[in-house]
Each structure stands twice: as structure tokens, then as C-alpha cells.
Amino acid sequence: MEEEKQKKDIFETIWDFLASVKLAIAVFIILALSSIIGTIVEQQAEPAKNIALLAKFFGDSAAPTVYNVFAKLGFMDMYRSWWFVSFLVMFSVNLIVCTLDRFPKTLRLVKTPLRPLAENVVRTLPVKKEIKLKTSLKTAKDEFLNSLNSSGYHVLESNEDDSVQLYSQKGRYARFGVYVVHLSIILILLGAIIGARFGFGGFLNLPEGQVSDVAFMGEGKTIPLGFSVKCNWYETRYYEGMDTPQEFQSELAVIENGKEVMRKVIEVNSPLTYKGITFYQASYGMVPNAVGYFMLTVTPNGGQPHTLQLRPMESFDIPGTGIRGTIVNFSPALTQDRRTGALTTYSEAMVNPAVAIEFQIPSQEKFTGWILKRYPGTGALPGGHSVRFDDYWGVEYTGLQVSKDPGVWLIYLASIVMAVGLYVAFFISHKKVWINLAHEAPGGKGPVRITVGGSTSRNRLAFEKELEHLVSKASHAIEGRSKK
């Protein structure tokens, strides 16, 4: 017997510890403070970076040693370190145990029916008011009942010989608001666990025109997609007259069993999802040493446009004009030097692509002109003919973030749950109002003494105003009636 009691005590002690808000406060502080470390030390970075950072604080000679100590403590990948994760687990356990501990009490509180109170107890409630009116008990009761009902209170009454009590409440389910908020936090943690366990995050740099059936995870690890994805084209669109990107776009096609099953132009903020795997527009770049195709549209004056696809140094004709062009040069980012006026390339990226074409026009001398993709006016030829430079295709790749997160729907669900919970917890309160009505003198004589008292789970000031309003509304109505 003795031993059993002791055991139970230990269990209870542990339970109380895990359910305590003191522990919650401690864990909040620990999580907040330790998270700071991870924002100072760069996470998952190359050692050299953080050694340089530490040298600012500890000096060049001590930095490597400090780095090693920090690395041992897990600071370099802190949010995944065993101790940080342990605190997160502690946090969840605390939240769950605390909820299990308190929920039954709240449930009882909500379920317990409201009881009438003695008049002198009503006077001691946190919010109270007392008035006297010359009227009958019945009129006073009716009007206060009306007033309570129209404010949304659920009213009960108890009648005695010389007095009546109206006792009422509303918003008792608001007491569950905090539990809804806490539940949503558990859902988020659950969603995160599912994502970490069953999802992946990888990347894929896919050149224009190429197909892949895997994504990459770093260190050469690959993840099979279960289907193939093809990049039809990649393009950066710029704001007119500026080098500020307006949109990064790629057209992707999903190929399964040799058939194209889906095609979509993706942008930042508008990914493609197929069979739970999502492709995000994350970056872009030039494929080293790639030779692509020049995509041109030529239009004879008044004639039909023709699209062409040409290799470097290839030639083409503008139909019906005798004009012949040869592609002789390319620049990904052409500009004119402000001082010398010479044409130069100012970036490796395709910021302002331009193609140089050598034109041979009958009975004229050969000349070479640059045609810029972003400025179609540069392709106007004598005689009203034109050449448009649509793209230098096959030299860029699109950088895709490839991820699968089967837990993400839980995160979305939890967001909604949390929004509802926060609303209920903060903006709805559980209010109780008792109104005692009694004649001043025994035997139904004298004015009616009205004693109002109430309590609220939050927003006391607003509750005071509400009661004030409720009482004045009823007493006006009563006075109005007695005048008639």
C-alpha cells in the first residue's frame, strides 16, 4: 500500500510538472533565446563562412577552436540538433498534457447549469448595478427578460413570493477557444513531422528542350519522380526600359508513358503540381558552352510572317524580297558604352539578348545590324521589311525547386483552425448575468429594487458597457410603459 501510494505520487508529480504553465513559460524562454543563436550563426553554411563570422567576435586565432566547439553543440545546423528538437518535443508534450489536464475541468465548467444566486451574492459580483423603479414586478421582469433576450442571453428564471431572479449566460463555448488554438499548434507540428518523414525537397536544373525523370538532393543523391518533366522554354521578362525582372517563367510539360499529360507555364508564386510533386520556379542560368537555335520571325512588307529556327552562322531569306541574312554574332546583354559609344556585353545572363545579322540587300552594300529581343524596333529593314528576334533557345536552364510535402494540407487546415480558435479565444467571452427583482416593502409594495450582477471571462470594460446599456434599455421601456 505504502509503496503504491508513493508510486502514484511520483507519477502525479511528473504529470503536474508536464502540465504546468511554469514549464511552458520556461520552454518559451528557452526556445526564444536559443533560436537567436541560429539567426546569428549561419545555418548549414560552409565552415569558412562561420569561421570568418566568429573571427569578428573572438579574433582570428580563436575562431577555429570556437567553431569546433559550436559545431559539436550543433549550432551550425541548430534547428535540427538533438537538443533543439528535444525542446520542441518537450513543448508539444507540455501542451498536450496541459490540455488533457485542464480540458475536463473546462468541460465541467461549461456543462454545469447556471444557478440563481442570493441577492446579497449578486451584489458582490465583479460587475454590478442597482436601481429602483416604480413599477410592478411583472412589468420589470418582462422588460428585463426582453432586454436580455435581445442581447443574445440564454435566460432562466426562478420565482419566489416577493421576488424574481433572471439568471442568464452567453458565449460559454468561448471557453473552448484556447483549446482550439492549442490543437492547431499540435496539428502544425504533426504536419511538419509528416512532411519531414514522407516528403522531400530537391532541385532540378533543366535546360530548355531537355527531359528528366529525377530530381537532385545535393551530394549527388537523386530522387526518382515517377514520371518525366520537360522544359519547353525558360524566359525572364523585364519591365519595359529597365533591367528589373518582371517575371521568371518556364513552360513545363509532364510526360508519362511517352505521352504528354500536362503542360503549364510556371512562374514564381504559380508552380506546377503533378501527383503530389510540385515544381517551383526558383532560379535560372546559362548552360555552359551551349549552342542553341536563333528563333526569328521575318515579315516582308505587307506579307505573311515566317518563323525560322537557325544555328549560328546559318543564312536565311526573307521570302519575295531577295534579302538574305546571316547570323554572325550574339550577345546575351548588349549595351552601348556611354563614353566610347562602343557596343559591349554587360552581363553573362540574358538580360538584353541581341543577335548580329549580316544583311545582303540586292544592289546595296552588305551591312551588319544588331537586333535586340527586348526592342523589336531594332529589326526594321529598309523597304518596310522586318526581322524579329524571338529567342536564342536552348542555352538557358530553368532552376526548379522540386518538393513533395504530404503534410502541407495539415498546415493549411491548422491555419484555419488557429484563425477560428484565436477569434473565439480573444473576441468572444463567456458572460453571466444575474438580475434580481424584488419589491422594497414586503407584500408586493413599494418600488421594485433591481440588482444586477455579472461576470465575464474577458473584456470586462466592454461587458460593463453592455450591462449598462442593457439596464438602461429595460428601464426606459418600463418608464415608457408606466407613462401610458
Partner 1 sequence: MNSSTFFDISAGAYIAAMIVYIIYLVTRNKNVGLAATAVTGFGFAAQTIAFIIRWVVSYDFWLTSNPASGFVEALLRAAPLRNLYESLVFFVWSLILIHLLIEFRYKNRSLGAFVTPIAALALLFTDISGTTKEIQPLVPALQSNWLLFHVLLSFLGYAAFGVSFGAAAAYIITATESKREKTYIFWSLIIGIFLIILVAMGIDFMSLSAAERKELIQSHFLKATFRSSSGGVVAASWIIALAFIFVLWQFGLGLKKVLNSLAVTPQMLEEIEYKSIAIGFPLFTLGGLLMGAIWANSAWGKYWSWDPKETWSLITWFVYALYLHARFVGGWRGKRVAILAVIGFVAVIFTYLGVNLVLSGLHSYGSG
Residues in touch with ligand HEM (CB under 6 A): 21, 24, 91, 94-95, 98, 102, 106, 178, 181-182, 185, 425
Please identify, using beta-carbon distances, which residue of 24 and 420 lies nearer to ligand HEM: 24
367 binds, among partner 1, ligand HEM, none (CB under 5 to 8 A by kind): none
Nearest-angstrom CA–CA distance, 145 and 159: 13
Determine, following the binding rule CB under 8 A, whether residue 399 of this chain makes contact with partner 1: no
Cβ atoms of 167 and 156 closer than 8 Å: yes
Among 18, 43, 180, 228, interactor with partner 1 by CB under 8 A: 43
246 binds, among ligand HEM, partner 1, none (CB under 5 to 8 A by kind): partner 1
Nearest-angstrom CA–CA distance, 422 and 428: 10
**Total number of residues binding partner 1 (CB under 8 A)?**
54
Please identify, using beta-carbon distances, which residue of 280 and 392 lies nearer to partner 1: 280
Residues 6+ away with beta carbon under 8 Å from 134: 447, 448, 482
Residues 6+ away with beta carbon under 8 Å from 20: 94, 98
Nearest distance from residue 293's CB to ligand HEM, in Å? Answer: 55
43 binds, among ligand HEM, partner 1, none (CB under 5 to 8 A by kind): partner 1
Among 118, 261, 291, 419, interactor with partner 1 by CB under 8 A: 419
Q: Is 297 helix (H, G, I), strand (E, B) or coil?
A: strand
Helix (H) or strand (E) holding 251: strand 245-256
Determine, following the binding rule CB under 8 A, whether residue 61 of this chain makes contact with partner 1: no
Residues comprising the chain, all counted: 484
Amino acid at 414: A
Among 22, 132, 154, 311, interactor with partner 1 by CB under 8 A: 22
Nearest-angstrom CA–CA distance, 308 and 324: 13
| DSSP string covering 92-109 | HHHHHHHHHHHHHHHHHH
Helix (H) or strand (E) holding 53: helix 47-58
Among 360, 426, 447, 464, interactor with partner 1 by CB under 8 A: 426
271 binds, among partner 1, ligand HEM, none (CB under 5 to 8 A by kind): partner 1
182 binds, among ligand HEM, partner 1, none (CB under 5 to 8 A by kind): ligand HEM
Which residue is listed with cell 551551349? 290
Q: Give the sign of the dihedral formed by CA 37, CA 38, CA 42, CA 45.
A: positive
Please identify, using beta-carbon distances, which residue of 1 and 242 lies nearer to partner 1: 242
94 binds, among partner 1, ligand HEM, none (CB under 5 to 8 A by kind): ligand HEM
Among 69, 107, 211, 268, interactor with partner 1 by CB under 8 A: 268
Determine, following the binding rule CB under 8 A, whether residue 28 of this chain makes contact with partner 1: yes
Residues 6+ away with beta carbon under 8 Å from 207: 231, 287, 290, 394, 395, 396, 397
Start-to-end CA span in the chain (Å): 77
* Residue 132: strand pairing partners: 449
Nearest-angstrom CA–CA distance, 176 and 173: 6
Nearest distance from residue 246's CB to partner 1, in Å? Answer: 6
Interface residues toward partner 1, by CB under 8 A: 21-22, 24-25, 28-29, 31-32, 35-36, 38-40, 42-43, 49, 52-53, 56, 79, 192, 201, 239-240, 242, 244-248, 267-271, 278, 280-282, 401-403, 408, 411-412, 415, 418-419, 422-423, 426-427, 458, 461
